[in-house]
Structure formats: C-alpha cells, structure tokens
Amino acid sequence: MKVAIIGAGNMGGAIARGLAQGHCVNVQDIIVTNPSTPKLEKLKTEFPEICVSTNNEDAGDADIVIVAVKPWMVEKVLKPLRLRQPQMLVSIAAGLTFEDLAHFVDPEMPIFRVIPNTAISLRASMTLIACRNASEQQIQMMLDLFNEMGLSILIEEKQFAAATALTSCGIAYVLKYVQAAMQAGVEEGIHPKEAMKMVAQTLEGAARLLLENENAHPVLEIEKVTTPGGITIKGINSLEHDGYTSAIINAIKASM
C-alpha cells in the first residue's frame, strides 16, 4: 500500500513521521510532496527510506492520498491529479465538506475527512475521522493508520464542528488550565517548571483513569478524592461558584 502526503508543514510532516514509525505502511511506500525542499530534506534526514518530491504529480498514483495543505489550496492541488477509485482521498483541510471535496476528484471514490490535533507530532493525537463511499475494510484501515498516532474515532460529518471544538480547540483549553494552575503554584512558591511537570503529570494520570477503564466517568473519579469536609471539595465548590463549568461549555460552543 502506497501512501502519499501532499504538504510537509506541521500537520503533514507530523503525519509522515507518525506513519514512518508505525507498522501499517512500509517507510519506502510513503511519499511526501512539498513545493520547497527544506522540510523535505529534514524528513529525508530523519527517515532516509521515505520518498520526497517537489512535484505533486508524483503523489497521483498512491493508494491513499492525504492532502495536508491550507483549505484554499486544496482545489489547486487535487484537480490536476484526477484521483479516482479505488484510490482513497484523506483531507486534513478543516471546513471543506465531502460535497466540496467531491468536486475536485471522482465523486464516487472513498473520501475521508480527518482532523487530528497538534499532539499528533508526539503520536498522541485525538483524531476525528468521517467517511463517504468507504467500505468497512477501508474504514478500519484508516482507523488503524491514525491509531498509530494516538487515538482515532469515527464520527458523522455533521458532528465535526462540535468534536473539533472538543479536541482540536480543546487541547488549547486544557493547556490554558495548565497555565493557570502553574500561576497559582508559582504564587505559592513552586518553581514554574516544577509546577508545569506536576500539573502535566496530573493531567496524564486523569486521562489514563478515563481511557483505560471502560466503566470510568469523571463524576466517579472526582468522588474518590472529594471526602466530606476535605480540601478538594472546597476547591471544587470554589470552581463552581466562579462559573468554571459554564466557562468551559461557553468556550467550546464559541469554537463551533
């Protein structure tokens, strides 16, 4: 299976690196195209077997073509390639619907819309996937590809706005909490870097509690640490008095 990635920017480059470190695709079967060479040369240095090119036409015969360019460049990039089934198109471009993409390729070919978040560079992304004209086997193949770079989940296209707010935008909201907690720690005499490690590791622990137990729920985990009359419940109540839950809900809705 040959995979082409058009665009070697932050997201395209991260996907290329993730695929090259995975097991679903042979490194020599990955080709990355980009108009300029510095990013391609860096990829080639890291993964000598990966194929690179400044000509997008070299991506046209791949089984899977991943378009990782700005939304306004997608039509210009795709139309000359004349992609058609049984090839599969994967678009990373936010905002371009299946109907939009179908104008640039064979409308009957399998098309996937994929939204990772920036943690894909560390193979820890929460990646959203929606599909059109795809078989169960093709869907599973796509889930397997992106599961090697974190966790992927299949959703309907109509859920993209809300899910993107939770994941792609959501990573910024989580980091904003880290920043705020660090500031509180510094005010109480903790060194900034130590405070950051403390909060980051606490977040990782919280995430694993939820991800590694299918019966887990935030309410249950909160109950375990909020003993009657304890300090945690006082902090929780303080957050609620200050509108913490409403602020998060409003931020996510504002991102949609």
Q: 196 and 204 in contact (C-beta within 8 Å)? A: no
Residue 218 has pLDDT above 90, yes or no: yes
Q: What percent of the chain has pLDDT over 90?
A: 95
Q: Find where tokens 């660090």 sit.
A: 182
Q: Minimal CA–CA distance to 31: which of 41, 48, 16?
A: 16
- pLDDT tens string 11-70: 999 999 999 998 999 999 999 999 999 999 999 999 999 999 999 999 999 999 999 999
Residue 186 has pLDDT above 90, yes or no: yes
Question: Does the reported pTM lie above 0.75?
Answer: yes
Q: Minimal CA–CA distance to 129: which of 156, 100, 150, 149?
A: 156
What DSSP state is assigned to residue 67? Answer: E
Average per-residue pLDDT for the chain: 95
What DSSP state is assigned to residue 133? Answer: S
Q: Is 149 exposed, middle or buried (0-12, 13-18, 19+ CB in 10 A)?
A: buried
Tell me the two tokens of residue 138. 């093709």
Spatial distance between the Cα atoms of 51 and 220, rounded to a whole number of angstroms: 49
Helical segments of 92-169, H only? 98-102, 136-147, 160-167
Determine the 3-state secondary structure of 214 from DSSP: coil
pLDDT tier at 180, thresholds 50, 70, 90: very high
Strand partners, 114: 129
Spatial distance between the Cα atoms of 237 and 113, rounded to a whole number of angstroms: 40
- pLDDT tens string 112-150: 999 999 899 889 999 999 999 999 999 999 999 999 999
Handedness of CA 149, 152, 157, 158 (dihedral sign): negative
Ranges of beta strands (E only) in 7-149 are 30-33, 51-53, 64-67, 88-91, 111-115, 125-132
Ranges of beta strands (E only) in 92-211 are 111-115, 125-132, 150-154
Work out the average pLDDT over 169-185: 96
Spatial distance between the Cα atoms of 46 and 49, rounded to a whole number of angstroms: 9
